[in-house]
Amino acid sequence: MISISYIDLASLSFLVFMLGVLLWMNGFSEVKQLWWSTLRMIAQLLFMGVWLSWVFYSEQIVWVLLVGLIMLIAAGYEVSKRQQYRFKKSRSLLIGLMALSMTSLTLLVGVLTLVIQPDPWYQAQYFIPLLGMLLGNSMTAIGLGLDTLTRNSKQLKEAIEAQLALGRTAKQSLHFVKQQSLHAAMIPVINMLVAAGIISLPGMMTGQILAGIDPIEAVKYQIMIMLLIATSTGLGTLIAVELAGRQIFDARQRLCLDCLINSKKGKA
């Protein structure tokens, strides 16, 4: 593969700097966040590259699982951070971690042991990149689903309480809000599936082709990962929305939105 120099990367980074200037001139107020996110992305990827080189060389399960654990915790943190209304006492983080571990990790172990079957099954070359793709997509979908659930529960408080007053159960009263949450989470996934191969070449397939892998083999790997992503995001969102839905009702099935705090204001 043709090597890219650090000078080339610095030149490309200047494009994002100029983009920020143009956005600022047009009233965009999050320019600093754009620049900070870009710097953070570069630092994280460079650090991960150095670390993965060492992990690949060591081939010890403890280091592979440690990397996976750090990735899982970071993804769970990002899920909770992306919600306008978060649960108190780190419950948003716990919900994110449970949903991600029950889906992404389970599916990954299954596909490594039953489909790809590397020797050993935890081989870092497969374990870490596949986990990263599953966590990244699931994190976005779960974050969208939870954000929609909590925001709409706040906005539609009267409608939910009216359903409860009519004798509906907590689960029945929240059903339409859950539907909206699943819709918000799954539409990007559906769009990704529709666009693959015709409108865009997915990242994993593109990377393998650039590395010289046979296109047909790259396509098979890409189909596999997209099927896993669709399953992981869907199941993860279902689990997260179900767990979160239970948190906004008390033991007597009364709507209890005091458990939510506005992350932008730091209050309920």
Quick one: 172 and 45 in the same domain? no
Owner of token pair 């571990």: 101
Q: Quick one: 120 and 215 in the same domain?
A: yes
The verdict on 99 and 216 lying in the same domain is: yes
Q: Is residue 267 part of a domain?
A: no
Could you tell me if 131 and 159 lie in one domain? yes
Q: Is 174 exposed, middle or buried (0-12, 13-18, 19+ CB in 10 A)?
A: buried
Structural domains in the chain (count): 2
Taking only the tens place, the pLDDT of each residue in 215-266 is 888 889 889 999 999 999 999 999 999 999 888 888 778 888 777 888 766 5
Q: Which of 107, 142, 119, 127 is nearest to 67 (CA)?
A: 127
Tell me: do 117 and 2 sit in the same domain.
no
Report if residue 268 sits inside a domain: no
The reported pLDDT for the residue numbered 264 is 67
Query: In Å, how far from its chain's centre is CA 13?
Result: 24
Gap between the Cα atoms of 95 and 90, Å rounded: 9
User: Would residue 123 count as lying in a domain?
Assistant: yes
196 shares its domain with 131: yes
Q: How confident is the model at residue 1 (pLDDT cuts 50, 70, 90)?
A: low
Which pair of structure tokens corresponds to residue 60? 């010890």
- Stated pTM of the model: 0.82
Q: Say whether both 7 and 110 belong to one domain.
A: no
Can you tell me the mean pLDDT for 67-83? 90
- The answer to whether residues 244 and 201 belong to one domain is yes
Residue 54 in this model has a pLDDT that exceeds 90: no
* CA atoms of 223 and 213, how far apart (whole Å): 15
Q: Specify whether 247 is located in the same domain as 201.
A: yes
Q: What is the pLDDT of residue 40?
A: 93
Report if residue 212 sits inside a domain: yes
What's at 110, amino acid-wise? G
145-196 tens-digit pLDDT: 999 999 998 888 888 888 888 888 888 888 999 999 999 999 999 998 888 8
Write 223-228 long-range contacts (CB < 8 A, 24+). Answer: 224/111, 224/115, 225/130, 225/133, 225/134, 226/192, 226/193, 226/196, 226/202, 228/107, 228/108, 228/111, 228/130, 228/134
What was the pLDDT predicted at 198? 76
Range of the domain at 243: 60-262
With respect to residue 230, please indicate whether it lies within any of the assigned structural domains: yes
Is the pLDDT at 86 greater than 90, yes or no? no
